[in-house]
């Protein structure tokens, strides 16, 4: 019974540590920004006596949206977690600006589903990075002899950190399937 309580407490602490660390080191990061939602400020109020006019937007043609299926192979064990991130911005990808990813999926390695479907993506250029965070510390560890698995789209970065232009792929008028195999050194 005591073991279950300690395990539950550890899981809660780990979750708060991951989210709390992100918020502590970058206060601009919020759960909404991690999910890619736009947060609007409600600090601006109309002046007293001013009439509010409805905002008129020009008619635009809806942007085409498609799905991306990511298949991940080569997970060597069920320890830790798997972190998958989809980027559409070279500066964010190359600068490790994790809070600017279009999509971030963090899932336990135990019972990890090989396929993940991302829906409703606009057309454009993207890059993917996946990390098997075996010790669940939220970082890619390379110190000493402990190397965690990773993969980039286009099989980029087999010997070094990939740049956006190397991992870039285009999401065009058709849905896309991407197959990635984790690399362990």
Confidence of residue 62 (pLDDT cuts 50, 70, 90): low
95 and 7 part of one domain: no
Over pLDDT 90: what percentage of the chain? 51
Q: Is residue 27 part of a domain?
A: yes
Tell me the CATH number at 89: 2.60.40.10
Q: In total, how many domains does the chain have?
A: 2
Could you give the C-alpha distances from 8 to 1, 23, 79, 111, 112, in angstroms and in order?
Answer: 11, 23, 17, 18, 20
- Tell me, yes or no, whether 15 and 94 share the same domain: no
Q: Are residues 86 and 165 in the same domain?
A: yes
Measured distance CA(128)–CA(86) in Å, rounded: 5
Q: Is residue 160 part of a domain?
A: yes
For residue 46, tell me if it sits in a domain: no
- Name the least confident of 22-26, 49-53, 87-91: 22-26
Report the alpha-carbon distance of residue 27 to residue 160 in Å, rounded.
Answer: 30
Mean local confidence (pLDDT), 128-132? 96
Say yes or no: 16 and 106 in one domain: no
Is 41 part of a structural domain of the chain?
Answer: no
Residues 93 and 8 reside in one and the same domain: no
How much is the mean pLDDT over the chain?
76
Q: Are residues 109 and 20 in the same domain?
A: no
Phi and psi at 120, nearest 5°, equal: 60, 40
Residue whose C-alpha is closest to residue 22's, from 10, 9, 35:
35
Query: Is residue 47 in a domain?
Result: no
Is residue 171 within a helix (H) or strand (E), and if so which, with residue range? strand 169-171
Beta bridge partners of 42: none
Mean pLDDT of 40-55: 42
Res. 53: pLDDT tops 90: no
Q: Which of 176, 150, 178 is nearest to 162 (CA)?
A: 150
Give the pLDDT mean for 124-142: 91
Rounded mean pLDDT of 27-40?
A: 41
Residue 161 lies in a domain: yes
pLDDT at 23 over 80: no
Contact present, 171 and 69 (Cβ < 8 Å): no
Confidence of residue 85 (pLDDT cuts 50, 70, 90): very high
Q: Indicate the pLDDT class of residue 141, thresholds 50, 70 and 90.
A: confident
Q: Which domain covers residue 90, as residue numbers? A: 65-181
Residues 81 and 132 in one domain: yes
Distance CA(104)–CA(143), nearest Å, equals 25
Q: Which residues of 129-168 are buried (b: 16+ CB within 10 A; e: fewer)?
A: bbbbbbebebebeeeeeeebbbbbbeebbeeeebebeebb
* 139 and 100 housed in the same domain: yes
Within a domain: 131: yes
98: pLDDT strictly greater than 50: yes
Token pair, residue 152, equals: 């980039």
104 lies in the same domain as 19 = no
| Residue 99, domain member (yes or no) | yes
Regarding whether 84 and 16 lie in a shared domain, the answer is no
Per-residue confidence (pLDDT) for residue 2, from 0 to 100: 53
Give the pTM: 0.65
């Amino acid at each position: 019974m005591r073991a279950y309580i300690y395990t539950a407490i550890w899981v809660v602490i780990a979750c708060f540590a991951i989210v709390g660390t992100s918020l502590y080191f970058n206060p601009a990061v919020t759960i909404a920004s991690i999910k890619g939602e736009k947060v609007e400020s409600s600090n601006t109020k109309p002046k007293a006596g001013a009439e509010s006019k409805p905002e008129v937007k020009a008619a635009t043609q809806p942007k085409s949206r498609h799905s991306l299926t990511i298949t991940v192979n080569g997970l060597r064990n069920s320890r830790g977690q798997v972190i998958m991130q989809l980027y559409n911005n070279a500066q964010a990808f190359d600068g490790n600006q994790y809070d600017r990813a279009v999509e971030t999926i963090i899932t336990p390695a135990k019972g990890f589903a090989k396929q993940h479907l991302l829906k409703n993506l606009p057309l454009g250029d993207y890059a993917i990075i996946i990390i098997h965070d075996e010790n669940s510390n939220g970082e890619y560890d390379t110190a000493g002899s402990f190397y965690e698995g990773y993969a980039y789209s286009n099989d980029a970065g087999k010997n070094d950190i990939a740049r956006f232009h190397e991992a870039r792929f285009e999401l065009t008028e058709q849905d896309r399937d991407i197959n990635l195999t984790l690399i362990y050194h």
